[in-house]
Amino acid sequence: MKMNAVVAGVGMTRFGKMLDRGLKSIGAEAVEAAIKDAGIDKSEIEAAFVGNAAAGLVTGQECIRGQVVLRSAGIGRIPVINVENACASASTALHQAAAMVTAGLYDVVLALGVEKLYDEDKRKSFAAFSGAVDVEALAEIMERLKKGAEETGAAKATEGAGQNRSMFMDIYAASARNHMKRYGTTERHFARIAAKNSFHGSLNPRAQFREKLTIEDVLNSPMIAEPLTRPMCSPIGDGAAATIIVSERKAAQMGLTSPVRISSMVLRSGWDHGGDEPGLVEVCSSEAYAESGVGPHDINVMEVHDASAPAELMAYESLGLCAKGEGGAMVDSGATWLGGTIPVNTSGGLLRKGHPVGATGIAQIVELTEQLQGRSGDRQVAGAKVALAHNGGGNIGSDAAAMCVTILVR
């Protein structure tokens, strides 16, 4: 959808393990930071869209999640719409906020993504991910993953999915093994992505993990599900991210000096298609490029959904940065590092910044907005004017259940 909305302010918490804090405390921190960044009063907010995926399972807050969080932050009376779309919950909330502003219904809208995944009972966290597939087909999915692992000799991946790890790591591992078999991609390519994102994350004070890793560190880490070692898998996390979205009329009234405009946001769900047909990411990104009048090589900085290192490599191909099968060569070129031709995941990505699933999509927008405004410190991409965010959620069949691709311009 072509948008006509401006990001007036952004805010987020550091991502991490917050066993001593609840959704209200975490969410309020991000909301207050975004309001302060925008330079507005809470009373100016006309509506709010709140993304969250797992509170019902992890905290027991099954309903009115957004109202509970915002009331604690002193925000009431306005319409509050709760949004769940698995790992794309926050980007979906932002899509709705930007659409309402574009349509002229509101001038000032809050979009918030907030999540608590850490719990003393880890089974709750893993259950949240198991609920992001078709649960009526869960036994069949698990059996298919196990059979695929056995056929490829992936011993570690034959057991433990959904029990001692998110089953999504097994889904990503299966995709990685297929990519390796078809295109000759190697574990070292995936390790190089994890090392890159660890370097970027080391420069980000809000990242969950800030230790720099070498390729060998990544390869020598514990195996989770072949070929994924631990640093190739995104961690769970707690955290929140928020944006204040305004109309161009309101932006002019506010006198914003460095406005970042949402040029396009394309939100679609997956469908059944052939393996060699364009998939969900290709369709969403092609539409976003067309609406914004830019191409993949016009993008200066990207945040992509690297829930696993192979997922980032495959995103290069699906987003048009390189042809199918050439992701490994792109990794080797160094193009996606800071200082390269197209830096990807300057925040550290999901691998190092962390992945509180209901907050991730807006956290990407926070990073990219600050990049476009020259506020990213040691990880600043010089002269960045066009940015892209790629955020997916859930899985049905061979594709994501939901996908949102956003293009921002300054």
Q: Name the pairing type of β-strands 108-115 and 239-246.
A: antiparallel
As to burial, measured by CB atoms within 10 angstroms (0-12 exposed, 13-18 middle, 19+ buried), residue 50 is: buried
Name the active-site residue from 179, 189, 305, 355. 355
Name the active-site residue from 87, 233, 284, 404. 87
CB proximity list for 11: less than 8 A, separation 6 or greater: 29, 30, 31, 32, 33, 34, 35, 36, 37, 241, 242, 366
Q: Is 404 a catalytic residue?
A: no
Report the helix count and the strand count for the chain, using DSSP H and E: 15, 11
Q: Is 305 a catalytic residue?
A: no
CB proximity list for 360: less than 8 A, separation 6 or greater: 87, 90, 91, 113, 241, 305, 350, 391
Q: Which two tokens stand for residue 115?
A: 């999540």
**Residues 45, 50, 56, 59, CA torsion sign:** negative
Helix 360-372 / helix 89-102 crossing angle, nearest 10 deg? 60
Contact 31, 239 (CB under 8 A): no
CB proximity list for 181: less than 8 A, separation 6 or greater: 152
Catalytic center residues: 87, 355
